[in-house]
Amino acid sequence: MDVIYVIDILGTFAFAISGALVASKKEFDLFGVIILAFVTAVGGGMLRDILINSHPINWIGDLNYIYTILTAVVCTFLFKSKIAPLRKTFFLFDTIGISVFTLLGLQKGLSLNLPAIVAIIMGMVSAVFGGVIRDVLSREVPLIFKKEIYASACLTGGLIYLLMKQIGVNENVNFIISAIVIITIRTVSVIYKLQLPKIKDDIFTRNQ
Amino acid sequence: MDVIYVIDILGTFAFAISGALVASKKEFDLFGVIILAFVTAVGGGMLRDILINSHPINWIGDLNYIYTILTAVVCTFLFKSKIAPLRKTFFLFDTIGISVFTLLGLQKGLSLNLPAIVAIIMGMVSAVFGGVIRDVLSREVPLIFKKEIYASACLTGGLIYLLMKQIGVNENVNFIISAIVIITIRTVSVIYKLQLPKIKDDIFTRNQ
Amino acid sequence: MDVIYVIDILGTFAFAISGALVASKKEFDLFGVIILAFVTAVGGGMLRDILINSHPINWIGDLNYIYTILTAVVCTFLFKSKIAPLRKTFFLFDTIGISVFTLLGLQKGLSLNLPAIVAIIMGMVSAVFGGVIRDVLSREVPLIFKKEIYASACLTGGLIYLLMKQIGVNENVNFIISAIVIITIRTVSVIYKLQLPKIKDDIFTRNQ
């Protein structure tokens, strides 16, 4: 599981950078930057742990999250103009990050004997709701409610993990395959600009 | 109590539709619609359970809430143009819903031996704060902070329930009377466009 | 500790007034005013208690907070035009308030054997996040993310408290000195309009 822990920390780092960049675009000060990096990086897991009553919550139980976030903020302050061009590298970290966040959140839910559907939701919450809290605090409509296939990738990957677990696939193999599914859906949807449908008029009206 | 459970589910359905309609007006995608329907329908009870440390929280402890919300979202997608004209029907469901949410939340607080004033607040939180979370996520100033007699109906109904309980009124009778009080206050205030006072200048200044 | 309790209540009163004034500027109705006063005054401690799983949470465990907030709202309604000129008095209460909120929150964290860095964060959360919740609910970008040295004063004061505790300074003396540090940093930064740095371009770019 050491590899997964490293990826978890790298994902946290990428999320924190993304939060710090949003904060700097909004002209937040150092404190605002730290808070936005913080909620982006660990807000999803924190919300999950509060919902399922798992204490100590993520960043209180493992201080490495705090240190990772502070490091990310320092890097953003020092190297901002060098970071911006690294967009593709960060997309990679971010995407691998959400796959690991999803599956770790799902496993945590299962380990607490939550129903399968709740465990899948908890995987998605872990990966996605840090960004939602970031957007609420910076007064944006949460991005993932409007534009991107993001949460759906997490939900699909979680579902596949559960199905493969049910039919007895080896846990490590299962983890890797499910992570690849999430990463693939996310990457393909960004490349081809895929979006979820919206409600405009109802289906019957449109067909008339 | 079966009747109350049915009303609870119908209220959840009405709240979820209202959340889905707000999301569709904001051009949220399917995921955004589900999340907004979800927080509108069960956000109040979820906040209550977190505040009073009652686990598993509402929608984790009873999966019927999730199924009800998903059904409501599907209905909104399929029949949006048919739903809009049903405004009065939904107002009815919604209003009966908040009366039941209030009294169930209040009873939950009492069953945990919380002080009366906290139990009344918990009833109001159950009925009202799903809408507040909906408004925050869709970047609106929470409606109930500005325009409507809504929370006040819940607080009044909760107070009356407690008073009647104190003087020994039968619990079922009490529940029905208190629910009717909430429904009546809410309906009358909408028909006559009643509003709570605002602070503009202070009373003494105005009288001078 | 009686003196500290009195200051805690006075701080709660000052925070509630500040929330009520923001709400009245936004033309919230009575209910909105009460909610905004409420979250401003006890939202930080409430968030802290949820994060560290300390139940009953602050305002449920001690009803005096609710009574203090309701009194503050009534005063705001009755005497608004008399309160506005008292700005300096309220700044005093508010500043003494955050110093006490910080140190009480920190002590609570320590009493639950949380790591030092988490306890310091909890002190800051207690003092600062009521205002953040207030700003989110009234659809403002949280003030403390942009303009003021506020949270930094709390973090510094918390750090000094911990250091002095480590070297064995008497607890009451420690409390008073740390509170004075917070009050001084806050006051000086307001008088001289000090601000934290922002990320604009990175340091190396700027130096070239």
A37-87 residue pLDDT tens? 999 999 999 999 999 999 999 999 999 999 999 999 999 888 877 776 777
| Contact call for B76 and A199, based on CB within 8 A | yes
Expressed as residue numbers, the domain containing C69 is 2-197
Contact A76 C117 (CB under 8 A): no
Is B204 within a domain? no
Higher pLDDT, C42 or A139: C42
Q: What is the mean predicted confidence (pLDDT) over C42-60?
A: 96
- Structure confidence at residue B140 (pLDDT): 80
Look-up of token digits 């964290």: C109
Q: Quick check: B146 contacting C, CB < 8 Å?
A: yes
Domain contains B207: no
CB atoms within 10 A of CB C82: 12
pLDDT at C148: 67
Neighboring chains of A (3 or more beta-carbon pairs < 8 A): B, C
B35 burial type by CB count under 10 A (0-12 exposed, 13-18 middle, 19+ buried): buried
Any domain includes B160: yes
Percent of chain C with pLDDT over 70: 93
Q: Whose structure tokens read 């051009």?
A: B27
For residue A37, being part of any structural domain is answered with yes
Residue pair A161/A103 in contact by the 8 Å Cβ criterion:
yes
Judged by CB atoms closer than 8 Å, whether chains meet at B33 and A199 is answered as yes
Split at pLDDT 50, 70, 90, the class of A148 is: low
A192 shares contact with chain C (CB less than 8 Å) = no
Query: Helix, strand, coil % (nearest 5) of chain B?
Result: 80, 0, 20
* Region C65-90 average pLDDT: 85
Q: Does C46 touch chain B (CB under 8 A)?
A: yes
Rounded to whole angstroms, how far apart are CA atoms B203 and C113? Answer: 50
Nearest Cα of chain A lies from the Cα of C157 at a distance, in angstroms, of 15
> When comparing pLDDT for B64 and A18, which is higher?
B64
- Range among B4-8, B192-196, C140-144 with highest mean pLDDT value: B4-8
For residue C174, being part of any structural domain is answered with yes
Mean pLDDT of all residues in A6-33: 88
Is there a contact between B139 and C136 if contact means CB atoms under 8 Å apart? no
Q: pLDDT class for A90, splitting at 50, 70, 90?
A: confident
ipTM: 0.88
pLDDT tens for residues A171-203? 889 999 999 999 999 888 888 877 777 766 555
Task: Count structural domains, chain C.
Answer: 1
Terminus-to-terminus CA distance in chain C, angstroms?
55
Query: Which residue, among A182, A192, A3, has the nearest Cα to A94 in the 3D structure?
Result: A182
Residue A189 lies in a domain: yes
CB spacing of A23 vs C145 below 8 angstroms: yes
- At B200, the pLDDT band (50, 70, 90 cuts) reads low
* pLDDT score for A201: 54
Poorest-pLDDT segment among A133-147, B5-19, C9-23, C57-71:
A133-147
Query: Considering the domain boundaries, does residue B9 fall inside one?
Result: yes
Choose among C53, C146, C202: nearest Cβ to A80. Answer: C202
Contacting residues of A for B53, CB less than 8 Å apart: 53
Q: Is A54 on the interface with C (CB under 8 A)?
A: no
Give the three-class secondary structure for C54.
Answer: coil
pLDDT of the residue at C207: 44
Determine, yes or no, domain membership for C206: no
- What are B160's two structure tokens? 């009356």
Whether A183 contacts A96, CB under 8 Å: yes
Distance of CA C94 to the CA centre of its chain: 8
Q: Which residues of C touch A80 (CB under 8 A)?
A: 199, 201-202, 205
Tell me the backbone φ, ψ of residue C198, rounded to 5 degrees: -115, 160
Residue B206 — very low, low, confident or very high, per pLDDT cuts 50/70/90? Answer: very low
Residue B143, chain C, CB below 8 Å: the answer is no
- Can you read off the two tokens belonging to residue A171? 């846990």
| The residue to which tokens 């150092």 are assigned | A30
The upper half-sphere exposure of residue C118, i.e. CA atoms within 13 Å in the direction of its Cβ, equals 22
Each residue's pLDDT tens digit, B50-66: 999 999 999 999 999 99
If you search the block for the tokens 């809009």, which residue do you land on?
B84
Q: Which amino acid is at B104?
A: L
Torsion (CA) B35, C44, A105, B64 in degrees, nearest 10: -40
